[in-house]
Amino acid sequence: MIRLGVNIDHLATLRQARYRNHTNGASPEPDPVAAARLCLAAGAHSITVHLREDRRHIQDEDVLRLGRECREKLNLELAATPAMLDFALRLKPAEVCLVPENRTEVTTEGGLDAARHIESLRPVIQQLNAAGILTSLFLSPEPHQIEAASALHAHVVELHTGCFADATPAQRPATLEKLKSAAEQSHRLKIQVNAGHGLRLSNLPALLSLPHLHTLNIGHSLLSHAIIVGLDRSVRDFLAVISQK
Protein backbone atom coordinates (compact mmCIF):
# COMPACT_ATOMS: atom_id res chain seq x y z
CA MET A 1 0.00 0.00 0.00
CA ILE A 2 1.10 3.56 -0.74
CA ARG A 3 2.00 5.39 2.45
CA LEU A 4 0.46 8.67 3.62
CA GLY A 5 2.57 11.46 5.05
CA VAL A 6 0.68 14.37 6.61
CA ASN A 7 2.13 17.86 6.37
CA ILE A 8 1.01 19.88 9.40
CA ASP A 9 2.58 23.24 8.45
CA HIS A 10 -0.72 25.04 7.98
CA LEU A 11 -1.99 23.99 11.37
CA ALA A 12 0.97 25.96 12.71
CA THR A 13 0.01 28.81 10.34
CA LEU A 14 -3.32 29.01 12.16
CA ARG A 15 -1.57 29.12 15.52
CA GLN A 16 0.87 31.81 14.43
CA ALA A 17 -1.97 34.00 13.17
CA ARG A 18 -3.01 34.49 16.79
CA TYR A 19 0.11 33.73 18.82
CA ARG A 20 3.02 35.04 16.73
CA ASN A 21 4.15 37.27 19.61
CA HIS A 22 2.98 35.02 22.40
CA THR A 23 3.77 36.37 25.87
CA ASN A 24 0.75 35.76 28.13
CA GLY A 25 1.64 32.32 29.48
CA ALA A 26 -1.29 30.45 27.92
CA SER A 27 -0.60 27.41 25.72
CA PRO A 28 -0.75 28.54 22.08
CA GLU A 29 -3.18 26.52 20.01
CA PRO A 30 -3.60 24.52 17.91
CA ASP A 31 -0.58 22.47 18.87
CA PRO A 32 1.18 20.82 15.88
CA VAL A 33 2.58 18.04 18.05
CA ALA A 34 -0.87 17.11 19.35
CA ALA A 35 -2.05 17.08 15.73
CA ALA A 36 0.83 14.81 14.75
CA ARG A 37 -0.20 12.35 17.47
CA LEU A 38 -3.76 12.26 16.15
CA CYS A 39 -2.62 11.79 12.55
CA LEU A 40 -0.35 8.88 13.45
CA ALA A 41 -3.03 7.28 15.64
CA ALA A 42 -5.46 7.51 12.70
CA GLY A 43 -3.03 5.57 10.49
CA ALA A 44 -0.78 8.16 8.85
CA HIS A 45 2.66 6.74 8.22
CA SER A 46 4.73 9.90 8.69
CA ILE A 47 4.61 13.58 9.60
CA THR A 48 6.08 16.30 7.43
CA VAL A 49 7.03 19.80 8.58
CA HIS A 50 8.87 22.56 6.74
CA LEU A 51 11.14 24.62 8.98
CA ARG A 52 11.32 27.77 6.90
CA GLU A 53 14.04 30.36 7.35
CA ASP A 54 11.46 33.03 8.19
CA ARG A 55 9.70 30.69 10.70
CA ARG A 56 6.31 31.70 9.32
CA HIS A 57 4.59 28.60 10.69
CA ILE A 58 6.59 25.71 12.16
CA GLN A 59 9.00 26.82 14.90
CA ASP A 60 12.23 25.25 16.11
CA GLU A 61 10.60 24.04 19.30
CA ASP A 62 7.86 22.29 17.29
CA VAL A 63 10.48 20.30 15.41
CA LEU A 64 12.45 19.50 18.53
CA ARG A 65 9.30 18.19 20.25
CA LEU A 66 8.39 16.13 17.19
CA GLY A 67 11.92 14.77 17.17
CA ARG A 68 11.56 13.64 20.77
CA GLU A 69 8.14 12.10 20.16
CA CYS A 70 8.19 10.62 16.65
CA ARG A 71 11.69 11.03 15.22
CA GLU A 72 11.43 7.74 13.30
CA LYS A 73 8.36 9.05 11.45
CA LEU A 74 9.47 12.65 10.93
CA ASN A 75 10.14 14.08 7.46
CA LEU A 76 11.81 17.50 7.85
CA GLU A 77 11.65 19.81 4.84
CA LEU A 78 14.27 22.54 4.69
CA ALA A 79 16.39 24.70 2.44
CA ALA A 80 19.95 23.54 1.80
CA THR A 81 21.63 26.24 3.92
CA PRO A 82 24.41 25.79 6.49
CA ALA A 83 22.13 26.72 9.40
CA MET A 84 19.41 24.31 8.34
CA LEU A 85 21.90 21.53 7.68
CA ASP A 86 23.34 22.01 11.16
CA PHE A 87 19.85 21.84 12.67
CA ALA A 88 19.05 18.61 10.78
CA LEU A 89 22.32 16.95 11.73
CA ARG A 90 21.70 17.70 15.41
CA LEU A 91 18.09 16.51 15.29
CA LYS A 92 18.62 13.49 13.00
CA PRO A 93 15.03 12.99 11.81
CA ALA A 94 14.19 9.88 9.82
CA GLU A 95 14.10 11.87 6.57
CA VAL A 96 15.15 15.27 5.28
CA CYS A 97 13.61 16.66 2.10
CA LEU A 98 15.56 19.50 0.50
CA VAL A 99 13.24 22.09 -1.00
CA PRO A 100 13.57 25.50 -2.68
CA GLU A 101 12.54 28.47 -0.59
CA ASN A 102 11.38 31.91 -1.65
CA ARG A 103 10.47 34.37 1.10
CA THR A 104 7.71 35.95 -1.04
CA GLU A 105 5.87 32.73 -1.88
CA VAL A 106 2.76 31.57 -0.04
CA THR A 107 3.87 27.95 -0.24
CA THR A 108 6.59 26.07 -2.13
CA GLU A 109 5.91 26.93 -5.76
CA GLY A 110 8.17 24.56 -7.67
CA GLY A 111 10.80 21.90 -7.49
CA LEU A 112 14.40 22.30 -6.40
CA ASP A 113 16.76 22.98 -9.31
CA ALA A 114 19.11 20.17 -8.37
CA ALA A 115 20.72 20.07 -11.81
CA ARG A 116 21.78 23.71 -11.60
CA HIS A 117 22.99 23.53 -8.01
CA ILE A 118 24.52 20.08 -8.05
CA GLU A 119 27.92 21.20 -6.72
CA SER A 120 26.50 23.12 -3.75
CA LEU A 121 24.04 20.33 -2.96
CA ARG A 122 26.64 17.58 -3.06
CA PRO A 123 28.31 18.24 0.34
CA VAL A 124 24.91 18.78 1.99
CA ILE A 125 23.62 15.42 0.81
CA GLN A 126 26.90 13.70 1.65
CA GLN A 127 26.64 14.88 5.25
CA LEU A 128 22.99 13.88 5.56
CA ASN A 129 23.71 10.45 4.09
CA ALA A 130 26.70 9.99 6.40
CA ALA A 131 24.44 10.76 9.38
CA GLY A 132 22.09 7.94 8.36
CA ILE A 133 19.28 10.30 7.36
CA LEU A 134 17.09 9.34 4.40
CA THR A 135 17.67 12.18 1.96
CA SER A 136 14.97 13.38 -0.41
CA LEU A 137 14.87 16.04 -3.13
CA PHE A 138 11.63 17.85 -4.01
CA LEU A 139 11.79 17.93 -7.80
CA SER A 140 9.72 18.84 -10.81
CA PRO A 141 9.20 15.78 -13.03
CA GLU A 142 11.99 16.61 -15.48
CA PRO A 143 14.51 14.00 -16.70
CA HIS A 144 17.59 16.16 -16.02
CA GLN A 145 16.44 16.75 -12.44
CA ILE A 146 16.02 13.02 -11.80
CA GLU A 147 19.47 12.42 -13.28
CA ALA A 148 20.88 15.03 -10.91
CA ALA A 149 19.24 13.28 -7.94
CA SER A 150 20.96 10.06 -8.97
CA ALA A 151 24.32 11.78 -9.38
CA LEU A 152 23.90 13.27 -5.91
CA HIS A 153 23.08 9.87 -4.37
CA ALA A 154 19.73 11.05 -3.02
CA HIS A 155 17.70 8.18 -1.62
CA VAL A 156 14.32 9.65 -2.57
CA VAL A 157 12.72 12.05 -5.01
CA GLU A 158 9.46 13.72 -4.11
CA LEU A 159 7.80 14.59 -7.38
CA HIS A 160 6.16 18.02 -7.40
CA THR A 161 2.56 17.38 -8.44
CA GLY A 162 1.48 21.02 -8.67
CA CYS A 163 1.15 21.05 -12.46
CA PHE A 164 -1.06 17.96 -12.27
CA ALA A 165 -3.17 19.42 -9.46
CA ASP A 166 -3.69 22.72 -11.29
CA ALA A 167 -4.28 21.20 -14.73
CA THR A 168 -7.52 21.50 -16.64
CA PRO A 169 -9.18 18.23 -17.67
CA ALA A 170 -7.66 18.64 -21.12
CA GLN A 171 -4.17 19.19 -19.71
CA ARG A 172 -4.24 16.44 -17.10
CA PRO A 173 -3.20 13.48 -19.33
CA ALA A 174 0.01 15.28 -20.36
CA THR A 175 0.90 16.16 -16.75
CA LEU A 176 0.27 12.58 -15.68
CA GLU A 177 2.48 11.30 -18.47
CA LYS A 178 5.35 13.53 -17.30
CA LEU A 179 4.94 12.28 -13.76
CA LYS A 180 4.79 8.68 -14.95
CA SER A 181 8.01 9.09 -16.94
CA ALA A 182 9.74 10.65 -13.94
CA ALA A 183 8.56 7.85 -11.66
CA GLU A 184 9.78 5.20 -14.09
CA GLN A 185 13.14 6.95 -14.47
CA SER A 186 13.57 7.25 -10.71
CA HIS A 187 12.71 3.58 -10.22
CA ARG A 188 15.27 2.54 -12.87
CA LEU A 189 17.87 4.57 -10.99
CA LYS A 190 16.90 2.84 -7.74
CA ILE A 191 15.48 6.02 -6.18
CA GLN A 192 12.34 5.87 -4.01
CA VAL A 193 9.38 7.74 -5.52
CA ASN A 194 7.32 10.04 -3.32
CA ALA A 195 4.95 12.76 -4.51
CA GLY A 196 3.12 15.78 -3.19
CA HIS A 197 1.70 19.28 -3.66
CA GLY A 198 -1.90 20.21 -4.34
CA LEU A 199 -3.23 16.69 -3.80
CA ARG A 200 -6.91 16.44 -2.82
CA LEU A 201 -9.51 13.73 -2.39
CA SER A 202 -10.90 14.70 -5.80
CA ASN A 203 -7.66 14.29 -7.76
CA LEU A 204 -6.01 11.45 -5.84
CA PRO A 205 -7.66 8.62 -7.81
CA ALA A 206 -6.10 9.84 -11.06
CA LEU A 207 -2.66 10.25 -9.50
CA LEU A 208 -2.73 6.71 -8.13
CA SER A 209 -2.22 5.48 -11.69
CA LEU A 210 1.47 6.43 -11.34
CA PRO A 211 3.85 3.49 -10.95
CA HIS A 212 6.25 2.90 -8.05
CA LEU A 213 4.67 5.38 -5.63
CA HIS A 214 5.94 4.92 -2.08
CA THR A 215 4.60 7.93 -0.11
CA LEU A 216 2.18 10.76 -0.81
CA ASN A 217 2.74 13.85 1.34
CA ILE A 218 -0.47 15.84 1.75
CA GLY A 219 -1.07 18.91 3.88
CA HIS A 220 -3.39 21.79 3.07
CA SER A 221 -6.25 19.74 1.63
CA LEU A 222 -6.19 17.17 4.42
CA LEU A 223 -6.20 19.87 7.10
CA SER A 224 -8.94 21.79 5.28
CA HIS A 225 -11.08 18.65 5.16
CA ALA A 226 -10.36 18.15 8.87
CA ILE A 227 -12.02 21.48 9.71
CA ILE A 228 -15.29 19.95 8.51
CA VAL A 229 -14.98 16.30 9.56
CA GLY A 230 -12.24 16.23 12.21
CA LEU A 231 -8.58 15.29 11.91
CA ASP A 232 -8.98 11.58 12.62
CA ARG A 233 -11.72 11.24 9.99
CA SER A 234 -9.79 13.31 7.45
CA VAL A 235 -6.71 11.09 7.70
CA ARG A 236 -8.90 8.01 7.38
CA ASP A 237 -10.71 9.45 4.34
CA PHE A 238 -7.41 10.03 2.54
CA LEU A 239 -6.15 6.58 3.52
CA ALA A 240 -9.36 5.04 2.17
CA VAL A 241 -8.76 6.59 -1.25
CA ILE A 242 -5.10 5.64 -1.28
CA SER A 243 -5.92 2.06 -0.32
CA GLN A 244 -7.88 1.68 -3.55
CA LYS A 245 -4.60 1.45 -5.44
The residues assigned a catalytic role are: 50, 77, 197
Among the listed residues 119, 126, 175, 168, the one whose alpha carbon sits nearest the alpha carbon of residue 148: 119
CA dihedral 114, 132, 64, 161 (to 10 degrees): 40
